[in-house]
Structure 1
Amino acid sequence: MQIVTIGGVTVGLCILGYFVTTWWPGRKQLTKNPLRHSADLAPFLFAWSYGCLTVLGIGGLIGWLADTALWISNWLGDVALVWGVGTAAGQRAGGAVYLPLTQTGGAVVLILTAVMVALVKKSRHGKTLKLGAWCGLTLGTSAGVAGFAAVPLAQGVNWLGGAVYGAL
């Protein structure tokens, strides 16, 4: 499992800032039609949740891809911090409390992976889904609020897996 660095968290926050800035319809439009504009956040939030789940200690190909993406994000962020603003790189950003996924929770993440692949290929929100997943995997193991959101996500997926597979 990769540990997120300050550079990796910075990449995740840059992605989040980019998305929120491009999504923001303006105060007038948001107050005029809040439901429609809030619904535009759903693909990003779904993908963000998926990204968090993939980096929470899942093994196999999905875990390896998530760890690799996190390693690349750490590297990109660290390079940007060193060469962009002249700070130190490679510092650990602190770790969130990890809640391991159960066997059935891992099965739910596998199902979500199939859904994400189909959505990225078929949906008009493909770019948003990719950004959301990337943001989620960089912020899912951070020590901040985003990292602590991973615990209820893991609990929810473990519960859902237990409920679905327990009923079989």
Structure 2
Amino acid sequence: MRVQLKMVLDCEPEAAWRAIQSPTVFREASLPLLDFTSLEPSGFPPRWEAGQHPVRIEALGVPIGSQSIGIEFPDRQHAGVQIMRDNGSGLSGLNTVFDTWDHRMAIAAAPGEPGRTLYRDRLVYSAGALTLPIWPSLWALWQWRGARIKALAPSWTSER
């Protein structure tokens, strides 16, 4: 099953690319519906790096389990498009219902809109018999994240 977003953000593409690599932005985009706590010994890294990043998840303050965020940076297939992928998996609790979790975020310059970013966010997932019943909740979560990302984007900068 699939959940998708496609929107134009009010920031430079490089600023959006830096932002989606930030665990802080990841958390800000999900609050207050979901909150994430790093289970890594040193906490969240300053920037997502390729590899597995275990987290504990709370939904509206209630613990729902843990998952491993599996970060990858696939090779560019289209000029000017940068992609970050999370193909993690549930470690405990509700997250273990997912057989497949393939979340990709793509950043590119918005065509005909200098200084703005085309942001695409796609989740492909499978959860056995629960795949269809889970879809409305994931769709609502993606709409929330999209609205939060759009609101946060003007504050993002490409400066280090």
TM-score by length of 1: 0.27
Question: Which structure shows the higher helix fraction?
Answer: 1
Query: Larger RCO: Structure 1 or Structure 2 (Cα < 8 Å, ≥ 6 residues apart)?
Result: 1
TM-score by length of 2: 0.28
Question: Which structure shows the higher strand fraction?
Answer: 2
